[in-house]
Amino acid sequence: MAVPKRKTTKSKRNMRRSHHALGTYNWTEDAETGEPVRRHHVDLKTGMYKGRQVVEPRD
């Protein structure tokens, strides 16, 4: 069974975990409504994507 030869320091452990943070989403402002929307996602309120109607809007 593999056993570490030395204790991993808090510094080394935290440096390894530095890439584990969650990334931020890319939000933009909708040209028509001015509301924040995620890019490359269908707006479920209006059903629009890239200026086209792709799904039925929710009530």
Show the CA angle centred on residue 33, arms to residues 24 and 37, nearest 5°: 15
Q: How far apart are CA 29 and CA 39, in angstroms?
A: 9
pLDDT of residue 1: 85
pLDDT of residue 58: 74
pTM, entire model:
0.49
pLDDT, block means (10 residues), the chain with 59 residues: 94 96 88 85 86 85
pLDDT of residue 35: 86
